[in-house]
Amino acid sequence: MPARIAQPDTPPSRGRRRVLGRLALGSLVASQAAAASELLKPLEVAPSSRVPGAPILEHPYGVPSPHEADVVRRSARAWPLPGAASSMTPLADLHGTLTPNGLVYERHHGGVPDIDPDQHRLAIHGLVRTPKLFTMDDLLRMPSESRIHFLECSGNTGNEWNGPSGMPVQLTHGLLSCCEWTGVRLSTLLEEVGGVSVSGNGTQGGWLLAEGADASAMTRSLPLERILDRALVVYAQNGERLRPENGYPLRLIVPGFEGNTNVKWLRRLKVVDAPLQTREETSKYTSLLANGTARQFAFEMDAKSVITRPSPGHRLSTHGYYPITGLAWSGRGTVRKVEVSTDGGTTWRAARLVGAIHDRALTRFEADWRWDGGAAAVLSRATDSTGYVQPTRAELVAARGLNSQYHYNAIQQWRVDASGEVRNA
Ligand SMILES: Nc1nc2c(c(=O)[nH]1)N[C@H]1C(S)=C(S)[C@@H](COP(=O)(O)O)O[C@H]1N2
Ligand SMILES: [Mo]
């Protein structure tokens, strides 16, 4: 298990502090008066209209505006092993629910391999009727499916188990992304190898061993019955082929299951009749409970939510209206409801769910708020389609103890002080 996370190696507030006051209605009213008198004379020609713009093809592959240069992945920690690394999604600066490919969080156990798609093969073998090797061309010629799903590392937010870490939302919740994934259904591939022939001696429908072609050869056993109706073997994310760091040319997507089961650089699927007890499901990715027993195969990521604006590092510059916005998700279905509190959890009210609500996908919520200038504490609480309600930290610790870093999904509070400073305290 990785050592506990120390203070971030990047300052908790970003280089360019975002002052949320630009969005405040209070300042809008003041600036509207100035703007109204401005409008009595003809509008100036915009300086950017006086000169030709940059030529086309300056960037054959487009890049963000240089003004957004600090919206990048960051890491909360230095990893002790070569190739082991993670980088986190800048949640506070994103809008809607999809994560741009260049900002999808990364977690590698053995570095990013360089794989030639023409040489890459996917083997499907074990308890199947006709084992087969698939080329990328074979897979691209099969019926495809595109679905929007979140991906969350089971270690996400592990730094809050012992109370507020002081970190900003990127470093507390940024092992979280959401993409439209395109590929072939696992069930279609299993039909292609003639179906599974599991012996059925008490193992309920068989398990699937998935293995990556990276230096860590990430290997997990998955219960077939629970994933067959939604697992995908994907070659594309958000409309383009997978990025190298996200599994190019092929990865497994198991919607709602903890990040590490979504094996990247996928080279092998073996149908077996019982879990293989690999390193990643025994020594790693099990949770030691307070009573000394271990919680193993805790696949689903439980319902969770977090406020992304305002969040630590932001400063509210004027009193008045602020939207409280953030993300909610559940590994067990859809988000049914998000409530927010601005008084530390004493009173709650329903937030709006903005945009389409997809199964096992990030869902954007927004609530209206007037900041009167006093101290406040903003929180969000998700309820999913199973009726499960996101727990408080005290409830979570009572159930799981403090021995494990994994599957932390408690309600997260951000404090706003009288100066408008937002902190994770
Ligand atoms: N082959 C392989 N697959 C892997 C990993 C890895 O190191 N090697 N990391 C896992 C972990 S722990 C997570 S959280 C997700 C991260 O996926 P991402 O880097 O695309 O965000 O991939 C999983 N799949
Ligand atoms: Mo992970």
DSSP sequence for 384-422: ETT--BPPPHHHHHHHH-SS--S------EEEE-TT-BE
Residues 266 and 235 sit within 8 Å (Cβ to Cβ): no
pLDDT at 38 over 90: no
Which ligand approaches the C-alpha of residue 263 most closely?
A: 1
Q: Which atom of ligand 1 is nearest to the CA of 105?
A: 21
Q: Which atom of ligand 1 is nearest to the CA of 265?
A: 1
Question: Ligand 2 centre from 66 Cα, in Å?
Answer: 31
- For 235-261, the pLDDT digits (tens) are 999 999 999 999 999 999 999 999 999
Domain boundaries, the chain: 101-293, 304-423
- Residue 275 beta carbon below 6 angstroms from any ligand 1 atom: no
DSSP sequence for 216-230: T--EEEEEHHHHTTT
- Residue 251 beta carbon below 6 angstroms from any ligand 1 atom: no
pLDDT confidence of 43, banded at 50, 70, 90? confident
Q: Which atom of ligand 1 is nearest to the CA of 213?
A: 1
- For 99-155, the pLDDT digits (tens) are 999 999 999 999 999 999 999 999 999 999 999 999 999 999 999 999 999 999 999
Residues 283 and 296 sit within 8 Å (Cβ to Cβ): no
Residues 333 and 384 sit within 8 Å (Cβ to Cβ): yes
Question: Ligand 2 centre from 86 Cα, in Å?
Answer: 9
- Residue 88 beta carbon below 6 angstroms from any ligand 1 atom: no
Which ligand approaches the C-alpha of residue 280 most closely?
A: 1
Question: Across all residues in the chain, what is the average pLDDT?
Answer: 90
Determine what percent of the chain is predicted with pLDDT higher than 90: 75
Q: What is the second-level CATH architecture of the domain 304-423? A: Sandwich (2.60)
- For 176-224, the pLDDT digits (tens) are 999 999 999 999 999 999 999 886 554 457 999 999 999 999 999 999 9
- Residue 104 beta carbon below 6 angstroms from any ligand 1 atom: yes
Handedness of CA 184, 185, 191, 195 (dihedral sign): positive
Question: Ligand 2 centre from 16 Cα, in Å?
Answer: 29
pLDDT confidence of 82, banded at 50, 70, 90? confident
Distance CA 45, CA 216 (A): 58
Question: Ligand 2 centre from 410 Cα, in Å?
Answer: 18
Position with higher pLDDT, 229 vs 57: 229
pTM for the predicted model, two decimal places? 0.90
- Write down the pLDDT at residue 6: 34
Q: Which atom of ligand 1 is nearest to the CA of 155?
A: 14
b/e per residue, 39-48, with b = 16+ CB within 10 A? eeeeeeeeee
Atom 16, ligand 1: residue with shortest CA distance: 107
Which ligand approaches the C-alpha of residue 107 most closely?
A: 1
Atom 21, ligand 1: residue with shortest CA distance: 106
**How large is the average pLDDT for residues 281-308?**
87
DSSP H or E segment with residue 304: strand 304-309
pLDDT at 166 over 80: yes
pLDDT at 18 over 80: no
Distance CA 204, CA 161 (A): 35
For the CA atoms of the chain, what is the radius of gyration? 24
- Write down the pLDDT at residue 12: 40
**DSSP bridge pairs for 379:** 341, 413
Q: Write out the CATH class of domain 101-293.
A: alpha beta
- For 303-343, the pLDDT digits (tens) are 999 999 999 999 999 999 999 999 999 999 999 999 999 99
pLDDT confidence of 11, banded at 50, 70, 90? very low
**How large is the average pLDDT for residues 381-391?**
98
- Write down the pLDDT at residue 27: 53
Ligand 1 pocket: which of 156, 175, 218, 254 to mutate (most atoms within 8 A of CB): 218
